[in-house]
Every structure is written in C-alpha cells, then in structure tokens.
C-alpha cells in the first residue's frame, strides 16, 4: 500500500529519500515509481567532490588522497555534474586560470588547498605561502601534501631507512646526492623512495627512525607521513559545508518532483511532498 504523503511531517520527503522509500508514496504499478526511486538514489548518494586545478597541480593525486585517507568520493575528471563540493588545488600564487576556475565554482561549496606543501620543507613557510594565496583570492587556503598523505613504505624500505638512520645519514640539500650515495645496489631503492616520498618524506622518515630506532612496523611511519601531510585539515571545512550540500540536494529533489508532477503521474501523491519541501525550505532557509 502506498503511503499518504499528506499525513507526514515536512522532513519526511528527505527521510523517505534517504531510506530509499520515496517510491512507496505511489502504487507499485505507478508510472512515477521508477522516477521517484531514481530521485531518491540521487538524493542519498555519497558525498561527491570534484577536484580542480591547473595541469601539474597534482589534482589527481589529491583526489586519490581524499578517497584513500578520508573515504571521500572524489574525481579530478572534467564534468562534475554530480559534484556536491569543489576542491581547487593550487601549488603557489593563483594564476589567471586558477581564478577562472574558482569563478566557475560555487563559492559556498568550494575549498581551496595549497598542494605540494612539503616542497617548502618548513610547515611555517608553507602556512605563510597559503596565507598569501588566501589574501589574493579572499578565501581560506589549506596547505597539504597529497604525496605524503598517500605515502606508504614497504618492509624492505623501512629496513633500508632504519639502516640509514642508524648510520646517521641525512637528506642532502640536493636530491641527486641522495640518489647517487651508497653502492649501486641501493640506487633502485633510493630512487623508489624519492619518487614516492620525495625529499621531505625521506627527511621525516629518517628523523622518526633516528628518534625511535626500534620501529619495525611500517604503519607507524605511514601514519606519521599522513599526519604531517595536512590532509586531515580539510575534514572540518568539508563538515562545515554539509548543511549547504543538503540544501542543494533538497532543491534538486524538489525539481525532480516538480517534473514528475508536471507529467500528471500520481499528482495527488507527489504534490503534497512538494508542499512539504517548500515548507522545509521556507523554515530553514528563509529568503534574505
């Protein structure tokens, strides 16, 4: 039996969509049932993040870091029709192309990060660069290193790094000096570490292992690289925007219901839902 939408509270359309029961307001054989089910799926889909940035900014690596470390569905592909949030990736002062992309993104649902913050070596310097970027675009900028966020080491690499730390080797000013140091059979290992951790990641590893020479679990080093990456600093800005995401999803849900009602399918069931959504919008987001 179909539910009577006229007897439920204003929040019910959203709750029905979240639970996958929105289509139950109409009979099983209703032409509107499939459209209502699809509208519910779109409303209840996981948070979608579109990562933007200039070529070479590391946006694809950052998108993967969001997925792997924060379990956020993120894509760096063009399009973004399903995006709830936009995250724009800078690597230095914003250029014209950055400004153009930011202008096309919704201000209330856009977060900006300064990627490759590890290249500044000192977190204080990275924070200062991010602050200068923020002044230029009048928006907060979070320094992060997607490379460090995704970094993992193997048992063999950990053993190699422990030995370097034990002998007091430090990361030289020139990366080439690190790559060419040691016997030939080490160079493949050194190159792999440089490619995946870069110089800052190697410095962090050597620092940690010098202080804790008994570390034998790669997890501890991975977690320290993750912590210093700054990726967790985007959690709060994402959380702060969840309310706005919900608002826009309700707008989309209302638009879908209006389309269904306009086709004349079960209007007596769909129109009360529209009235309830209108009441929700008027109560929670009154016109300025």
Tokens linked to 107: 């201000």
Dmax over Cα atoms in the chain, in whole Å?
A: 80
Q: Please, where are the H alpha helices in the chain?
A: 12-19, 33-44, 59-70, 96-103, 123-137, 146-150, 155-166, 175-180, 187-211, 218-229, 235-240, 242-262, 267-284
Total domains, the chain: 3
Residues 56 and 139 in one domain: yes
Residues 74 and 106 in one domain: yes
Nearest to 242 by CA among 117, 80, 78, 111: 111
Residues 207 and 264 in one domain: no
Residue 235, domain member (yes or no): no
Given a cut of 60, whether residue 3 has pLDDT beyond it is no
C-alpha to C-alpha distance for 77 and 66, rounded to whole angstroms: 14
| CATH number of the domain residue 100 falls in | 3.40.50.300
Q: What pLDDT, in 10s, does the model give residues 128-163? A: 999 999 999 999 999 999 999 999 999 999 999 999
Supply the pLDDT for residue 7. Answer: 47
Q: What single DSSP character describes residue 47? A: P
Any residues with CB less than 8 A from the CB of 59 and at least 6 apart, and which? Answer: 51, 52, 53, 76, 89, 115
Residue 117, domain member (yes or no): yes
Decide which of 124, 149, 174 is a domain's last residue.
Answer: 149
Given a cut of 70, whether residue 250 has pLDDT beyond it is yes
Q: What pLDDT, in 10s, does the model give residues 74-117? A: 998 766 578 999 999 999 999 999 999 999 999 999 999 999 99
Kindly indicate the confidence band of residue 66, based on its pLDDT and cuts at 50, 70 and 90: very high
Residue 237, domain member (yes or no): no
Identify the weakest region by mean pLDDT among 179-183, 215-219, 254-258.
179-183
Residues 266 and 222 in one domain: no
Range of the domain at 173: 150-229
């Amino acid at each position: 039996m179909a539910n009577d939408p006229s007897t439920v509270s204003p929040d019910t359309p959203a709750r029905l969509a979240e639970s996958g029961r929105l289509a139950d307001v109409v009979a099983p054989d209703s032409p509107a049932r499939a459209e209502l089910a699809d509208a519910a799926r779109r409303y209840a889909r996981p948070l979608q993040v579109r990562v933007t940035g200039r070529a070479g900014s590391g946006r694809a690596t950052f998108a993967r870091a969001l997925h792997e470390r924060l379990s956020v569905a993120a894509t760096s592909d063009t399009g973004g029709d399903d995006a709830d949030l936009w995250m724009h990736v800078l690597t230095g002062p914003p250029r014209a192309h950055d400004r153009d992309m930011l202008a096309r993104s919704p201000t209330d649902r856009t977060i900006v990060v300064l990627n490759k913050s590890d290249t500044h070596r000192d977190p204080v310097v990275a924070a200062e660069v991010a602050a200068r970027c923020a002044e230029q675009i009048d928006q907060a900028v979070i320094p992060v290193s997607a490379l460090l966020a995704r970094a993992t080491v193997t048992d063999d690499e950990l053993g190699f790094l422990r030995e370097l730390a034990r002998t007091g080797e430090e990361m030289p000013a020139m990366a080439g000096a690190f790559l060419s140091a040691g016997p030939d059979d080490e160079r493949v290992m050194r190159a792999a570490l440089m490619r995946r951790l870069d110089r800052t990641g190697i410095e962090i590893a050597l620092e940690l292992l010098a202080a804790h020479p008994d570390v034998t679990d790669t997890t501890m080093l991975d977690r320290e690289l993750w912590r210093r990456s700054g990726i967790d600093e985007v959690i709060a800005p994402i959380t702060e925007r969840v309310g706005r995401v919900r608002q826009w999803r309700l707008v989309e849900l209302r638009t879908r219901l209006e389309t269904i009602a306009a086709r004349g399918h079960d209007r007596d069931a769909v129109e009360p839902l529209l009235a309830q959504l209108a009441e929700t919008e008027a109560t929670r987001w009154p016109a300025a």
